[in-house]
Structure formats: C-alpha cells, structure tokens
Chain A
Amino acid sequence: MITLDHCHKYFHKGSVNEVYALNDICLQIREGDFITVIGSNGAGKSTLLNCIAGSFFPDSGTITINNHDVTKWPEYKRARFIARVFQDPLLGTCPSATIEQNLALAIKRGKRRGLGKGVKNSERDIFREKLGHLHLGLEERLLDRVGLLSGGQRQALTMLMATMIKPEVLLLDEHIAALDPKTANQILGLTSDIVGEQHLTTMMITHNMKHAIAFGNRLIMLHQGRIILDVDGTEKSKLTVDDLLQRFYTVQGEELSMDSMLLT
C-alpha cells in the first residue's frame, strides 16, 4: 500500500512564477487499485506521479510504500517498488541497445548489477515468451537495436520492461498520448491485459474521459494541485462523461465567479 500524507509541492517558490503544484494531497493507494487520473493541463497530474516516483521530493508531507517512509528516497532507490512508463516512447528504452539488452536491463530493476553477463542465455527464453504475448514479432528480433523500432513498438516494449518484475505500483503518465489512435488502442489493450493478469496496482494519467471511466476501479480528478474527486467501486462504474464534465465545469465556474468578484 502506498500512502501520501499531506503532500505539498511548490515550483519556483518565492518568485513571480510560483506554482502551487500539489496542495495538501492525501491519498491511499490500496493494493490492486487501478486508478485513472484526470484533470486539466497544469492540474498536477504529472507532478503527483513524479512525486510518488521520486523525481523530486515534496516540500512537506510524507510518502510511504509498504510501511517504508520513502519521502527522502531518490528516484533510483524507489525504483525497486515503482515502474514507470512515460508519454514519450523514446524515454522508456535505450535506442542503441538491442531488444534483449533492454529487457535484461529491466529484469534487474532495483537489484544489484555486478560483473555477471549482461544478457544471460536463461533469460532469453523468458524474453521470447514475453515478447510473444505482444504479437508484434519482436520475439524474432532480440538482436535488433531498439532505435529501429516504431514508437508504438517501443512503447509496447516499455510496458513489458516496466512489468518484467512485478512493481508495487505501475505509474503510467499519459503513456498512449504520443501514439496514433490505432497504436494507442493496442497499447491500451496491452496495458489492460498486463495489469489484469498480474493484478498490478496502477495509476494511469489520461486526457481521455472515456478511458478514465472505462478502465480501472477508481478515478481521481485533480484541479489546481488538489484532489477534487475520488470515486471507486460501483460509484465509479456508474460515472458518465457528462458527470465528469459537469464536475469539471463546476470547479472551473467557481473559479470564474471568484475572479469576477475580485475584478468588480
């Protein structure tokens, strides 16, 4: 279980560009939760995921994973609990390394790396089998450099690499946003399959409200660094896009009325 307790995060604190990116975030991610995260641009979605992953530390508040207080753990140290897939397909893989070398890097996530062989023969069978599930023919191309693959293939490979070793939480930061619609749907399907098979605890940021509703058992909506909606179970399954839009415009409307009050 992952717990964020009263997490605050400012960017450029004290300057004219100050941004209150996370405002008193309290969140409990239960084991097996598949949470979809929505919110407008700048709502703090990516900041929230980066904060959990350790790309930066919260200004105040604590983060615990499985009873470890990881608030001050750097990103590489948290990697033993956390797997990530980024929006940019280029960020998840090494272009000049081969497919098998990339997978071998991933199979050691959070473990010591010594002077053993980088890619072991025993691992190759595992790689071939796992790649076979992707139905992209990559199992025949273990020795091809990843730079030769398309964005969609690379993102599929990244999904595989992220889940090679079961993470405590899988963080997906708009991981299909940079792909064409057809490929995006394939990767989304793959995501759903992998998460379902391994019962992975997952957080998925999306801009697509339909996806946010269709996938996962829980949905949170962020606005200006705060969680303004957190629904799960049957309540979530009853949600419609209209409900979400309604909710969205309500908070935006409040803001507008406050602005107009200030101006008058």
Chain B
Amino acid sequence: MKIENLSFAYGDNIIFDRFNLDVQDGKTVCIMGSSGSGKTTLLNCINGQLNYEGKILYGQNGYKDRRRGVARVFQQPRLIPSMTLRQNVLYAMPAHMDKVERCRRADAVIEALKISDCKDSYPRYVSGGQASRAALARALAVDSDLLLMDEPFKGLDIKLKSDILDLLQPMLYGKSVIFVTHDVEEALCSADEIYVFRKGDKGVEVTFSAEIAEDKRERDMFSDAFNGIRKELLRALREL
C-alpha cells in the first residue's frame, strides 16, 4: 500500500500535509505517537471514511479502491449487542460469499482465537478479553490483504495482551498490517517497521522510524539489538 501526498484537515486544523507512507506487502507497520497526532485519522483515511486529498493506492497493481480488501479493529470491540459473538463475526463478512464458506471461515477464526466456548454468547455476557478477541476474529474472518488495528488491546492486562498477541501472530503472516499502539513492547514484538508521529504546525511529522529485520517468530525481546531500538524508541516518545 502506498500513500502519496495525503492532505487532510479538520477545519483549520491541518492533520496531514502532503504526507507519504509506504507499506510493503505482508509487513506490519506500527504507528506510535501522542494523542491527537493523527494516527486514527490516518486509519480513517485509509478506510475511506474521510474525504482526503492525495492518493492511497492498494494492491500490487496500485489500484485505487478505498474499501476493497480492508479490515479493521477499533479501540473498543464495537460488537453489536443484539448478536452473539459468532453472528458479529459473520456480520462483517462479504454478503456475496457462499454461506457455507462464510460459516466455515468464521468458525475457523473463532477456534484459532480460542473463543469457541463463548461464540454463542451475547457481548454483554463475555469478558473484555473475549470481546477483544471477537473483534479481532471479525477482522481476520474478512480475509483482507490489509488489516488496520487501532489500539486493539487498550485496557487489557499484560498477560491477556501477550496471550492474544501470541494467538494473533501466526494469523497475520502474509497480511499487510497497520497497527496503532502506545505500547512499546507491543510494537517491538509485532512490527517490521515502527514510526513515531508528532503533530506539528503543518501537520504530522515522523520523528522516528526503525526497521526490524528479525523474523517475528524468533525475536529475543531482551537481546542487545532490541534493547537498543527500545531505548531509541522510548527517547523519541519522551521527546514528543
């Protein structure tokens, strides 16, 4: 996915001014930064929910279609209260897809994220962790090329967060992911590239960027290399 000369403003408040970003296929890009620095706005532009200027190109052939092949996880699970978790997963899947195939795929993702035991429960009756996993299942079941995640683990404890990340990692292979987070460890263990955004007078500025070449499955989070990136990242975040 390629973002070229993206410009967007809320009234006089310029958020993006000819902003550029490249997301290579199958890579996870983590975006960090202070609140109000344009992270969620960027996801909204990519998702086609805002009218922006510039180009957002998807796919290998660079076709421009805002909606095609995009799945999203929001800060809150945003599950429909009148539907069970399974029905919520099915709700977001394309209507043109064969019904049997839809059910098969939804059940497979539900199983992989270990929420089978509560798939027929209503959101009100499940825990925060189960609701978050249902929201992830909904996005993964769509089977898109591009996944947008906006602080999906906000409010979850460290143990639950790392359990979900462990379940999630194998399912993200081959997908391009834009992952907005405030958590350094979340970014370090899941990102191929990390960017730190700051809101300047003329829109968003990237104050830090790092590439992590090491395979996600074999990362030693306490190695010297990671400690180095961690230090630089923390410094960049403190300077915001």
- Our verdict on whether A and B bind, yes or no, reads no
Q: Which residues of A contact B (CB under 8 A)?
A: none
